[in-house]
Amino acid sequence: MSQRVKIFAGNASHELGEKIAAAYGQPLGDLSIQRFADKELGPSFNESVRGCAVFLIQSTNPPAENLMELMLMVDAAKRASAASVTVVMPYYGYARQDRKDKPRVSIGAKVVADFIQSVGTDRLMTCDLHAGQIQGFFDIPVDHLDGATVTAPYIKSLNLDNLIFASPDVGGVVRTRAFAKKFGAEIVVCDKMRLRANEIASMQVIGDVTGMNVVLVDDIVDTAGTICKAAELLMERGAKSVRAVITHAVLSGPAHERIRNSVLEELIVCDTIALREENPKVKVVSLASLFARAIHNVVSHESISSLFV
């Protein structure tokens, strides 16, 4: 007899959770999140999970209570005798704090990894970590999915000629090259200098984009300052058009206004984070079917890498 699978979603990813469950072929599980008068959270499962393979879907973008809610969900499932608990974290919050880049700072990505494991999580499933090495913070299996599995086909559907890909900074070159390889295309680099976080001092383009349709590639867009400045610079350097493909649309602060007023044709994002407002320039492609297939392969002990290699 095959193990029963139950899929639940927290408040931060409820819409995506419903899509994943539907793609998997079953309804989303019944979960209640009680909120006490002092705003403390108390999740409870309204159906039995005893002996089940439980998958809990929740991105951990701000506020921090999204992470706390997820950890309480894991604890509740373990205490309810679930056979296994897999955290499905489409967006891994705090991933940008992956190392000590100056004295006396925390490594937030490691703290989150320790938190996830401390509550008894058996497996983590996530997508496009800011740094792939974060997988090494875990002593449990980590399924690292590739957002390009769904975004690359969308780019191909546009049938753009003279296509070239651009990294918005030097750190994203490996990611951009891997994406460009799917098209047999070249890449250019936008080299930026920062004075402080979320503030760019200067930027220059390494490579020729004259007459080219440029696609900027990155994993996260936060305030959209870098991506919009890079797009403007690429157009100044003679690009025919510029669009961007991003996995995680954090889009905080002035991001939406910047994107609306930018030279970007469109910003293609995945649905790892729910958009807080409508934006005509933002095109959302869903990762639901990819996560659903990954859940199926985990349960049936099939390859995960086969989904995107």
Say if residue 203 is in the same domain as residue 224. yes
Say if residue 170 is in the same domain as residue 277. yes
Q: Is the peptide bond before 90 cis (omega within 30 degrees of 0)?
A: no
- CA 119 distance to own-chain centroid: 23
Say if residue 84 is in the same domain as residue 189. no
**Angle (deg, nearest 10), helices 108-118 and 65-79:** 20
- Find out whether 218 and 168 touch, Cβ atoms under 8 Å: yes
- Kindly tell me if the per-residue pLDDT of 1 is higher than 60: no
Q: In this predicted model, what pLDDT tens digit does every residue of 148-185 receive, in sequence order?
A: 999 999 999 999 999 999 999 888 999 999 999 999 99
Say if residue 11 is in the same domain as residue 119. yes
How far, in Å, CA of 237 to CA of 165, rounded? 14
Please work out, in degrees rounded to the nearest 5, the angle formed at the alpha carbon of residue 108 by the alpha carbons of 39 and 216.
105
| pTM of full prediction above 0.75 | yes
Cβ-in-10-Å burial (0-12, 13-18, 19+) of 16 comes to: buried
Say if residue 155 is in the same domain as residue 249. yes
Say if residue 93 is in the same domain as residue 155. no
Domain span at residue 37 reads 5-146+288-307
Say if residue 153 is in the same domain as residue 268. yes
Say if residue 95 is in the same domain as residue 11. yes
Say if residue 129 is in the same domain as residue 158. no
Average the pLDDT over each of 11-25, 193-207, 210-224, 273-287 and give the range with the smallest value: 193-207
Indicate which residues carry an active-site annotation: 192
Reported confidence tier of residue 203, pLDDT bands at 50, 70, 90? confident
* pLDDT of amino acid 191: 85
- Find out whether 82 and 54 touch, Cβ atoms under 8 Å: yes
Average pLDDT, the chain: 94
Q: What is the dihedral of CA 137, 141, 147, 149, to 10 degrees?
A: 150
- CA 185 distance to own-chain centroid: 24
Helices within the chain (DSSP H only):
14-24, 65-79, 108-118, 148-157, 173-181, 225-236, 255-260, 288-299
Q: How many domains does the chain have?
A: 2
Q: What are phi and psi of 199, to 5 degrees?
A: -140, 120
CATH of the domain at 258: 3.40.50.2020
- Kindly tell me if the per-residue pLDDT of 199 is higher than 70: no
* pLDDT of amino acid 211: 96
Say if residue 29 is in the same domain as residue 104. yes
Say if residue 77 is in the same domain as residue 175. no
- Kindly tell me if the per-residue pLDDT of 259 is higher than 90: yes
- Kindly tell me if the per-residue pLDDT of 192 is higher than 90: no
Q: What is the mean pLDDT of residues 67-91?
A: 98
How far, in Å, CA of 145 to CA of 138, rounded? 16
Say if residue 85 is in the same domain as residue 156. no
Q: What is the 3-state secondary structure of 202-258?
A: EEEEECCCCCCEEEEEEEEECCCHHHHHHHHHHHHCCCCEEEEEEEEECCCCCHHHH
